[in-house]
Amino acid sequence: MSIDNFIPEVWSTRLNQKLYDSLVFASCCNTDYEGEIRGAGDTVRINQVGDVTINSAYTPNSTSITPEALTDYQTTLLIDQTPYFAFYVDDVDKAQANANVMDGAMQSAAWGLRNHADEYIAALYGDAGYTLTSTAIDSTNVFALMATMGQKLTENNVPDEGRWAVIPPWIATKLALAKVLVTDAGAAAGAFTNGFQGRCAGFDVYVSNNVYTSSSTYYPMFGHRKAISFAGQITKTEAFRPEAKFADAVKGLFVYGAKVVYPNALVVATTTVGSEP
C-alpha cells in the first residue's frame, strides 16, 4: 500500500474497530465519558449524586414535606496511559508481498494495544471493595467461589443485570469440569463476545490471559459494568517516509485511562490452582 493512498481517518477508524473487537477487561467497563477525550493528560470529571433519603410514610393533609438538598461528589478519570506503535514496510518487501501487509500489521498493533489496556485494568484489582482470600480452586469448589462473589455483590445492592466475571483459562476449565457453565447461544445476548464463555451464578463469564497474577496467585475480578470507567481513543495515525530507508512507515498513538469509580460494585478473589480429586 503506497503512502500516497494512506488516509489517516480511515485507518484510525479501522484500528479502533479492531482494538475494541479484541478487548476483554475494557469491554466489561462503562465508557460513558469516552467522548470527552481530546488527548493525553486530559482529566475527565465524573459527577455522582449521593443517596436520596426515603422517608417512612406520607399522611394526606398531615405530613409536612421539606425537600432535602442533593449531595454530590466528583471523581476524576485521568487519561494518562499513552501506548504507541510504529512500523515500516520496506519498498522491496512491499513489492514482493502477496498479502495485505498493512492490514495485517494494523491488526497486530490493535492486539498489542488491547493487551496494554487489559493488563492495566486487570491491575486495578486492589481498588475492589471486597477481596476474598480463597483456597485452591478445583471443580468441587469452583461454583462456591462464583456464588460467593455474587453474594458479596448482592449484599452491596449491586444490580443483577450487567454482572461480569473475568477469569483465567484454568478456572474456566474447572467450571467446565463441574458442568456449571451455561453455554447456550442465548446466554450471550447483548454481551460482548470476545472471550465470552457463558453464564454462571448470575455472571457473564469471560476468559483472559491478562488476569493479574503474582507468583502462583491469580486475581480474577467480578463486578458490574458501572464499577470501572474506561475511556480510550486513537488520537493519531500518521504515515511517513523514514529518512534513512526506502519504506513506508506508520505510527499511531492510543491514549486512555481507567478507574474504579464504584468500589462496592467490584470484588476480587485470590485463587491458586487446585488439583483434581
Assess if residue 55 is contained within a domain: no
Closest residue by Cα to residue 234 from 213, 256, 212: 256
Residue 23's CATH number = 3.30.2400
In the structure, what pLDDT confidence band is assigned to residue 192 with cuts at 50, 70 and 90?
A: very low
Which residue matches cell numbers 503512502? 3
Rounded to 10°, the helix 101-122/8-22 angle is 50
- The average pLDDT across 90-97 equals 68
pLDDT, position 7 = 58
Helices (runs of H) and strands (runs of E) counted in the chain: 5, 13
- Number of domains observed in the structure of the chain: 2
Is residue 104 domain-shared with residue 212, that is, in the same domain? no
Is residue 196 domain-shared with residue 256, that is, in the same domain? no
In the structure, what pLDDT confidence band is assigned to residue 14 with cuts at 50, 70 and 90?
A: low
For residue range 243-259, what is the model confidence (pLDDT) as tens digits?
888 888 888 898 999 99
Intra-chain end-to-end CA distance of the chain, in Å: 57
Is residue 167 domain-shared with residue 268, that is, in the same domain? yes
All three cell numbers of 50:
449521593
pLDDT, position 245 = 86
pLDDT, position 1 = 47
State the residue range of the domain holding 162.
137-225+263-273
Is residue 15 domain-shared with residue 105, that is, in the same domain? yes
Query: Given phi > 0 = left and psi -120 to 50 = alpha, else beta, which region is 195?
Result: left
**Parallel, antiparallel, or unpaired: how do β-strands 130-137 and 163-167 relate?**
unpaired
Is residue 206 domain-shared with residue 247, that is, in the same domain? no
pLDDT, position 100 = 65
- The average pLDDT across 183-189 equals 55
> Which of the residue ranges 8-22, 54-68, 158-172, 214-228 would you say has the lowest mean pLDDT?
8-22
- In this model, does residue 190 exceed pLDDT 50? no
Assess if residue 107 is contained within a domain: yes
* pTM for the predicted model, two decimal places: 0.80
- The average pLDDT across 115-132 equals 95
Q: What is the 3-state secondary structure (H, E, C) of 73-85?
A: EEEEEECCECCEE
**Parallel, antiparallel, or unpaired: how do β-strands 72-78 and 212-214 relate?**
unpaired
- The average pLDDT across 16-23 equals 65
